[in-house]
Amino acid sequence: MKKLVLVACTALLSHLSVGQEKGILGQKDSPNVELKSINIGDCKWTTGFWADKFEVAEHAMVPYMGQVLTGDVGHALNNFKIAAGMKEGKHKGMRWHDGDFYKWMEAAMYVYSQNGDEKLLKEIDGYIEIIGKAQEEDGYLQTQIQLNDQVDRYENRKYHEMYNSGHLLTSACIHYRITGQSNFLDIAKKHADLLYTTFNTEDPRFGRFGFNQTQIMGLVEMYRTTKDVKYLQLAEIFINNRGKYKVEDTPETQGYPIGDMVQERIPLRESSEAVGHAVLALYYYAGAADVAAETGEQELVDALDRLWVNVTEQKMYVTGAVGQAHYGASTSRDKIEEGFIDAYMMPNMTAYNETCANVCNSMFSYRMLGIHGESKYADVMELVLFNSALSGISIEGKDYFYSNPLRMVDGSRDYTKHNTESPHREPYLECFCCPPNLVRTIAKSSNWAYSLSKNGIAINLYGGNTLSTHLVDGSALELNQVTNYPWEGSVNITVGKSKKKPFDMMLRIPDWAKGTTIKINGETADVAVVPGKYAVVNRKWKKGDIITVDMPMDAKLVEAHPRIEEARNQVAIKRGPVVYCMETPDLPEGTQILDVYVQGNAPLTASYKPDLLGGVATIEASLLLRKNQEADKIYSTIDRPEFVEYKTELVPYFSWNNRGNSEMTVFMPVVWGDL
């Protein structure tokens, strides 16, 4: 631990760059980061896809969710009021409902950072006052425990105290960075100090407690915000404790799965396989990445590298979704819920793919992007954002999916046996963790669009936006990005203000974008353009310079790894970063989704439809509908299948189930050659 203190203090004293004071990750003084966060609010979406999504977040997602959580349906604010003595009643909602409210507050603050709405800030400050009154004198703040006479503090980890704590700390840091006000941060300090007093111990009773570990990310942000090194120390303690204790011995696990389910059989530094509950795992890995960004510990980074590869190359769906199964077992035969199972086991209909897990996948990749500065991490961020994240919320921003299967077949199974919701989107989910997690991600997405490199700027995400920021040396930079991405592949970036000395423009070339060209003021740039890498253009930039990135946007057939049995001899269709699906509203009445085949040699043509599903590009295709399949028998003999050609269009996967209940599939069997 002394070594950690020395590393942290040395980094704070020696790091001389100006950097950013108000990043989504407070990395200004983080010594082991290649790409750092821009200030919150430095980038604003202006036109196009993400500008439209942010507008929905501003005017529908955040206000509607606020009404739910501050009213009697969500009951989250009521829990704080009851704990504060301002209201009579009992705790309602899941044990992690406090954390859901903190996530919504964080989303609201991202909206405020863009629009400066003082009414919204006043509303949030009113909630902070209530939360402060609910907090106990020594800093403890957990309404699910405070309003329960049958349970003591930190008695049983299934009450998710660590989860709530992490979101409290993170939300308070974001509020402070955006507003400069300390009212929320003061609450977080008292709470974090109590955590340190309680868990900075060798007592095994507390050693296994820290699962669902958002508190690691929250503690690192508290360290970055306050410069108090004990918070970083405690974050590392929580990492060091995983895998340290014998799994079966501790009574605090009563009533909750143990072992791989909560990532405690193997110490993180020895891990090479993502196991257990996918949300718990990815929060854990993201927190460990935050710690590594401060300490520079190579053993920790090496483990995270192995885990990232295991997740993205062996257990991730084509949509960027993760957490294959609602129920299952790990390779150590521990019971698993909502999580990772064996590599290449990728069911379609029963795919769980919790929205939170998908969002956490992008959070983990964002942190790995910072550590390594490699564009492959931004590729995963983008894949999730356009597909398995957005699929969790309706176009109008008020109805939600908890899980995100790749196929929905009416009558093929009782959906509720495999998932926590009905087959259609719901305006409120009893387990409400996913909606605010997704909404805060949409609300903060502009802050992921750019990162600061050691000698310039990295463009991670494309979309119409303006950037007004400072490079790490303190020099001002202004950029204006104009594009209709992801529906079109042409991006124009115009330089406004910039320093006179040469610096890097790092342009992400997506791994799918073979044939991309880059021009500067109409002339081909003398730079290597490699899919899956940043193209680095170093020059003296001047006001009015225009960078043009032109990415081919042909629709492509995508096949799965041959070990993925559930997708053998099937294909998905992808155009740019967007994965498409076939949905029954676009098929003849009475057609079942299992009757649909892809004609492998038929053309695929994109067409933008501004009035469909909020404005999307569809893929026009000639599909094949099978006519003589006996669906009522488990097996049947066949001669030659009969097909009817049918011209229709596929829609982006994220937009499905916005036209009423429907069947849907991403992967479809493929037929090659003449029939």
Bridge partners of 508, per DSSP, are 534
439 and 585 together in one domain: no
103 and 231 together in one domain: yes
Q: What is the pLDDT of residues 598-637, one digit of tens each?
A: 999 999 999 999 999 999 999 999 999 998 777 678 888 8
Percentage of residues in the chain with pLDDT exceeding 90? Answer: 83
Residue 53: inside a domain, yes or no? no
pLDDT of res. 422: 63
pLDDT of res. 319: 98
Q: What is the pLDDT of residues 149-166, one digit of tens each?
A: 988 999 888 899 999 999
Residue 307: closest CA among 384, 367, 257: 367
Q: What is the pLDDT of residues 321-337, one digit of tens each?
A: 999 999 898 888 888 89
Between 423 and 338, the higher pLDDT residue? 338
Q: How far apart are CA 345 and CA 265, in angstroms?
A: 22
- Both tokens assigned to 603: 């053309």
Between 205 and 24, the higher pLDDT residue? 24
Residue 417 has pLDDT above 80, yes or no: no
Compute CA 50 distance to the chain's CA centroid, rounded to the nearest angstrom: 15
- Both tokens assigned to 301: 């980074």
Between 435 and 8, the higher pLDDT residue? 435
Residue 189 has pLDDT above 60, yes or no: yes
- Both tokens assigned to 285: 């890995």
Q: How far apart are CA 161 and CA 95, in angstroms?
A: 8
Tell me the pLDDT band of 249, cut-offs 50, 70 and 90: low
Residue 538: inside a domain, yes or no? no
Mean pLDDT, range 170-180, rounded to an integer = 98
Q: Which of 448, 470, 500 is the last residue of a domain?
A: 448
Residue 146: inside a domain, yes or no? no
pLDDT of res. 254: 59
| Type of residue found at 205 | R
429 and 559 together in one domain: no
Q: How far apart are CA 201 and CA 397, in angstroms?
A: 45
Residue 183: inside a domain, yes or no? yes
Residue 269 has pLDDT above 90, yes or no: yes
444 and 559 together in one domain: no
Q: Which of 448, 467, 500 is the last residue of a domain?
A: 448
Residue 126: inside a domain, yes or no? no
- pTM (2 d.p.): 0.95
Its domain, for residue 583, covers 555-671
Percentage of residues in the chain with pLDDT exceeding 70? Answer: 94
Residue 2 has pLDDT above 70, yes or no: no
Tell me the pLDDT band of 211, cut-offs 50, 70 and 90: confident
| Type of residue found at 186 | D
- Both tokens assigned to 405: 């299967």
Residue 651: inside a domain, yes or no? yes
| Type of residue found at 472 | V
Residue 186: inside a domain, yes or no? yes
In this structure, the dihedral spanned by the alpha carbons of residues 317, 323, 324 and 330, taken in order and rounded to 10 degrees, is: 130
In this structure, how many other beta carbons lie within 10 angstroms of the beta carbon of residue 360?
Answer: 26
Residue 244 has pLDDT above 80, yes or no: yes
pLDDT of res. 253: 58
Q: Which of 398, 426, 448 is the last residue of a domain?
A: 448
Tell me the pLDDT band of 10, cut-offs 50, 70 and 90: very low
Mean pLDDT, range 287-310, rounded to an integer = 98
Q: What is the pLDDT of residues 377-397, one digit of tens each?
A: 999 999 999 999 999 999 999
Number of domains in the chain: 2
| Type of residue found at 3 | K
Residue 666: closest CA among 592, 604, 588, 583: 583
pLDDT of res. 9: 45
Mean pLDDT, range 113-120, rounded to an integer = 97
The CB-based long-range contact list for 426-429 (8 Å cut-off, 24+ gap) reads 426/399, 426/400, 427/68, 427/398, 427/399, 427/400, 428/68, 428/73, 428/74, 428/400, 429/400, 429/402
pLDDT of res. 418: 44
Tell me the pLDDT band of 317, cut-offs 50, 70 and 90: very high
- Both tokens assigned to 56: 């929905």
Q: How far apart are CA 437 and CA 402, in angstroms?
A: 11
CATH number at residue 26: 1.50.10
- Both tokens assigned to 33: 């980061």
Residue 255: inside a domain, yes or no? yes
